[in-house]
């Protein structure tokens, strides 16, 4: 079976959880012998792992007919695409995209991030999909997250192949309910047009059903999983300066992640114990507010901000922690607690996170219940058996959550849509 996937992020250059999930899922699916995946990205960097799937660089696909000189073409393609492939796509240009500013070879530039002109990039991406889908042979279209829904819909309209969309998040999660009408419009349009919808948790499934008015029969939950940790990461040594216990919040410091509840819980714990430090790692639009809040509570001597962590720093931080906490107000899934559990860190998650649906050996609290949160933190740092139980059992549990199994469920959805 051949699948054409539209995605926005792919490791190693990722900005959020979407890239990690796309990678894990496609890798898991590639384990199925007859599965053939083509994955379109706005701007690949060239160092992506292409051993198990084919990546199409959207920023090299011609949407306007040009006849560049061979050397110039090769230089422009920069190894991301072969000239033969380029010509194949050029033969499939059917619509006029002259209104889009194109480069010398007729392709469009992408930032590959989430710029201010995001809507324009989405439109351009859709134009590229218009060309690509005509030249490829596939059985099913799979769009990851709202940015690529329009591309999926276009491909479906052109080829008549069924469309599956994968909801990694909705705007309700990102905005605590104050949705952006344009974004909502795009999401709703994609969901209406899709033949089937895959959500990453039942929480998201409910949002899709109740907030977007989608027929429940059309929505299936496939929980995310986590990649096994590599040797390289396993060998990272924890750095720990003092004997104090470390409680870590790791993620974007935004409204969605509930950082203020963490500060409040820290304040409560510090009233009672002194041998503990709190770390808020990451950056985001609420960071300054959080620093001010910690100062207001007079706990800054024990409450630390690291700023944005890159690459291995993330795992260093995780490994040096005694407790990982994710008090998200609304989290479609949240892979990071699973990653913390992989390196043996006891984890506290909010009940409003999708991953709470599949995790047992983690403490679950309501994000607003700071007393319960403080109590859970205190319990892990005070009672040794609680720490070791969560550490060992948590690791055991999370090692059994594999992308392979998630991929099988996705495959089932494909088969169902195709009527196999």
Partner 1 sequence: MKSICFYFQIHQPFRLRRYRFFDIGNDHYYYDDYNNEEIIRRIAENCYLPANNLILQLIKENNGFFKVAYSISGIALEQLELYAPEVIDSFRELAKTGCVEFLGETYAHSLSSLNEDSEEFETQVKEHCNKIEALFGMKPKVFRNSELIYSDAIGERVAQLGFKGMVTEGAKYVLGWKSPNYVYCCANNPRMKLLLRNFKLSDDLTFRFSDWAWDQYPLTADKFAGWIAETPESEKFVNLFINYETFGEVQKAHSGIFEFLKALPEFAKQKNVSFATPSDIIDQYMPVDQISVPYPMSWADEERDVSAWLGNELQREAFEKLCSIGERVHLSQDRRLLQDWYYLQTSDHFYYMCTKHFTDGAVHSFFSPYDSPFEAFTNYMNVLSDFIDRVNSQFPEGIDNEELSALMKLINTQENLIEKLTEENKALKECNANAEMAVSPAPKKRVCRKKAESAELTETSKTEKKAKSAKSSEKEEKPKTARKRKTTEK
Candidate list 363, 398, 401, 417; residue touching partner 1; CB under 8 A: 363
Q: What is the DSSP string of 152-166?
A: HHHHHHHH---EEEE
Binding-site member from 209, 376, 398, 406 for partner 1 (CB under 8 A):
376
- Give dist(CA 420, CA 415) in Å, integer: 5
Q: Min. distance of Cβ 402 from partner 1 in angstroms?
A: 18
Residue 349: CB minimum distance to partner 1, A: 12
168 binds partner 1 (CB under 8 A): no
In whole angstroms, how close is the CB of 371 to partner 1 at the nearest point?
6
Min dist CB 356 to partner 1, Å, is 10
CA pair distance 164, 111, nearest whole angstrom: 25
Nearer to partner 1, 98 or 298 (CB): 298
> Residues 113, 240, 272, 412: which binds partner 1 (CB under 8 A)?
272
Nearer to partner 1, 30 or 361 (CB): 361
Three-class HEC string of 70-119: HHHHHHHHCCCCCHHHHHHHHCCCCCCCCCCCCCCCCECCCCCCCCCCHH
- Pick the piece of the chain touching partner 1 (CB under 8 A) from 26-34, 121-129, 135-143, 358-366: 358-366
Binder of partner 1 out of 164, 364, 367, 414 (CB under 8 A): 364
Tokens representing 250?
A: 């790791």
Task: Confirm or reject binding of residue 316 to partner 1 (CB under 8 A).
Answer: no
Instruction: Report in angstroms how near the CB of residue 257 gets to partner 1 at its nearest.
Output: 22
Per rule CB under 8 A, is residue 393 in the interface with partner 1? Answer: yes
Binder of partner 1 out of 72, 388, 396, 420 (CB under 8 A): 388
Complex with partner 1: residue 77 or 376, whichever CB lies closer: 376
| 375 within 8 A of 239, measured Cβ to Cβ | no
The label of the residue with tokens 């792919």 reads 10
Minimal CA–CA distance to 362: which of 352, 350, 370, 375? Answer: 350
In the bound complex, what is the minimum distance in angstroms from residue 375's beta carbon to partner 1? 5
Q: Which residues, in sequence order, are bridge partners of residue 417?
A: none
Which residue intervals of 259-359 are DSSP H helices? 259-272, 287-296, 312-319, 336-342
* C-alpha pair distances (Å), 255 with each of 238, 294, 336, 353, 364: 29, 16, 17, 14, 19
Comparison of 276 and 417: residue with beta carbon closer to partner 1: 276
Name, in order, each residue with C-beta under 8 angstroms of 387's C-beta and a sequence gap of 6 or more: 322, 346, 380, 381
Report if residue 268 touches partner 1, rule: CB under 8 A.
Answer: yes
> How near is the Cβ of 188 to partner 1 at its closest, in Å?
35
At residue 82, φ and ψ (nearest 5 deg) are -80, 150
Residue from 278, 378, 403, 414 in contact with partner 1 (CB under 8 A):
378
CA dihedral of 100, 101, 102, 104, whole degrees rounded to 10 = 150
Residues 187 and 149 sit within 8 Å (Cβ to Cβ): yes
Q: Nearer Cβ to partner 1, position 260 or 375?
A: 375
Based on the shown chain and the rule CB under 8 A, indicate whether residue 383 belongs to the binding site for partner 1: yes
Contact between 363 and 231 (Cβ < 8 Å)? no
Closest listed residue to residue 10, CA positions, set 59, 60, 47, 62: 47
Under rule CB under 8 A, residue 360 binds partner 1: yes
Structure tokens at 226: 């986590």
Task: Provide the minimum distance between the beta carbon of 387 and partner 1 in the complex, in angstroms, as a whole number.
Answer: 10
Nearer to partner 1, 192 or 357 (CB): 357
Q: Residue 268 Cβ, how far from partner 1 at the closest point, in Å?
A: 7
379 binds partner 1 (CB under 8 A): yes
- Beta carbon nearer to partner 1, 260 or 369: 369
User: Is residue 369 part of the contact set for partner 1 (CB under 8 A)?
Assistant: no
Task: Tell which phi-psi region holds residue 364, choosing left (phi > 0), alpha (psi between -120 and 50) or beta.
Answer: beta
Based on the shown chain and the rule CB under 8 A, indicate whether residue 389 belongs to the binding site for partner 1. yes
| Residue 384 binds to partner 1 (criterion: CB under 8 A) | yes
Q: Cβ–Cβ contacts within 10 Å for residue 90, how many?
A: 19
Q: How far apart are CA 343 and CA 394, in angstroms?
A: 9
Q: Which listed range, 45-53, 202-210, 232-240, 384-392, lies at the site for partner 1 (CB under 8 A)?
A: 384-392
CB closer to partner 1 out of 1 and 386: 386
Evaluate whether 257 touches 251 at the Cβ level (below 8 Å): yes
Residues of this chain that interact with partner 1 (CB under 8 A) are 268, 271-272, 360-361, 363-364, 371-372, 374-376, 378-379, 382-386, 388-390, 393
């Amino acid at each position: 079976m051949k699948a054409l996937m539209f995605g926005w992020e792919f490791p190693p250059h990722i900005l959020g959880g979407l890239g990690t999930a796309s990678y894990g899922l496609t890798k898991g699916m590639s384990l199925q012998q007859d599965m053939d995946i083509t994955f379109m990205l706005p701007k690949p960097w060239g160092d992506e792992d292409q051993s198990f799937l084919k990546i199409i660089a959207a920023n090299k696909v011609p949407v306007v007919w040009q006849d560049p000189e061979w050397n110039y073409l090769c230089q422009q393609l920069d190894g991301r695409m072969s000239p033969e492939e380029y010509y194949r796509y050029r033969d499939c240009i059917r619509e006029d995209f002259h209104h889009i500013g194109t480069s010398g070879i007729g392709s469009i530039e992408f930032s590959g991030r989430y710029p201010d002109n995001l809507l324009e990039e989405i439109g351009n991406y859709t134009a590229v999909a218009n060309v690509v889908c005509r030249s490829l042979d596939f059985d099913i279209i799979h769009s990851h997250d709202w940015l690529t829904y329009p591309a999926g819909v276009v491909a479906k309209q052109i080829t008549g192949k069924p469309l599956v969309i994968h909801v990694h998040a909705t705007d309700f999660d990102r905005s605590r309910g104050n949705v952006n009408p344009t974004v909502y419009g795009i999401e709703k349009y994609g969901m209406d047009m899709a033949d089937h919808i895959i959500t990453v948790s039942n929480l998201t499934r409910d949002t899709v059903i109740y907030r977007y008015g989608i027929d429940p029969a059309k929505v299936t939950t496939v929980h995310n999983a986590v990649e096994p940790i590599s040797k390289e990461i396993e060998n990272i040594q924890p750095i720990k300066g003092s004997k104090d216990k470390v409680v870590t919040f790791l993620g974007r410091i935004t409204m969605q992640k509930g950082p203020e509840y963490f500060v409040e819980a820290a304040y409560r714990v510090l009233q009672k114990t002194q041998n503990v430090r709190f770390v808020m790692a990451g950056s985001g639009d609420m960071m300054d507010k959080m620093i001010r809040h910690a100062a207001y509570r007079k706990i800054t001597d024990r409450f630390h901000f690291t700023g944005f962590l890159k690459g291995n720093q993330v795992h260093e931080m995780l490994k040096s922690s005694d407790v990982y906490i994710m008090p998200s107000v609304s989290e479609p899934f949240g892979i990071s607690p699973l990653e913390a559990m992989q390196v043996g860190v006891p984890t506290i998650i909010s009940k409003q996170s999708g991953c709470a649906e599949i995790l047992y050996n983690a403490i679950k609290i309501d994000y607003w219940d700071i007393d319960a949160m403080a109590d859970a933190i205190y319990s892990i740092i005070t009672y040794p058996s609680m720490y070791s139980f969560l550490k060992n059992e948590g690791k055991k549990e999370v090692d059994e959550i594999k992308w392979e199994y998630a991929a099988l469920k996705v495959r089932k959805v494909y088969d169902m849509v195709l009527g196999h």
